[in-house]
Amino acid sequence: MNHKKNFAKKLHIFKLTVMAIIIILAGIFFSILALNPALRGMISVNPLLLAICTVTWICLIVSFAHLAIDFYVIKKHHDLARDLDELSFLDTLTGLPNRYSIDRFSSKYNTPEKMENLGCVLFMISNLKEINEKLGRDMGDKAISDFCEILESVGRYYGLIGRNSGNEFIVVIENSNKQSIEMFLSDFQRRISNHNTLNPAIPLRIMYSYVLSNDIYADHFYTLITGVYRRFNEHPLTLM
């Protein structure tokens, strides 16, 4: 990826250099004609010189237009590459950051000092398998989408939301403590309850666990992730 970016940067510089040369040549050509009345007179009465000047100007104009189109195409490709790069870090079903995005986010938490006051909440939809078996995969996907919409609408005010795998969702909260985690869970509980009241046919039953880096003395991001999974496996909590 870096190699491609370096190549694109070099190509951009090369095109700029060529365009600058064309502009300089066009300026020199125009200056010579403007400052030399005798030459202009010769061109006006000599069909061969007139043809040479006309062809030269056409070549300069075409070259400039060609470079301008190149810059437009390069920009389009750059925008497309940027969009694809962003999409590669998003889950296709939910639009949430995926595992790769979480890995990229986690890279800055690599020392005990940076891990201070970091909280992590792990969620799973406990009745997702039941929904898939009874109502079909499409309704299961809808349940995931509904859940993620609620999680994003609440969690974006607290921290990073991500889909770590098929039915595993995490929220990472900076500068957190037990009170801030419980406040987030309270907001989330209220939204889930509202959803289940309005959608009794497909209620969402949620299992979760949370951990604070200071409580387990996490010295790296994945120590925190391991801790929240361990707590989930040992004693998951529920909300619905």
Q: What residue segments make up the domains of the chain, in order of their start?
A: 2-87, 99-239
Residue at token pair 């040479």: 52
pLDDT band at 1 (very low <50, low <70, confident <90, very high): very low
Residue 108: DSSP 8-state: T
CATH assignment, 99-239: 3.30.70.270
What's the average model confidence in pLDDT over 50-64? 79
Give the C-alpha separation, 69 to 76, whole Å. Answer: 11
Q: State the pTM of this model.
A: 0.62
Question: pLDDT, tens digit, for every residue of 91-114?
Answer: 666 777 777 777 777 777 878 888
Q: Name the residue type at position 13.
A: I
Kindly state the percentage of the chain with pLDDT values over 90: 28
pLDDT-derived band at 8, boundaries 50, 70, 90: low
Tell me, what's the pLDDT at 220? 83
Interval 122-164: pLDDT, tens: 999 999 999 999 999 899 989 998 998 999 889 888 888 888 8
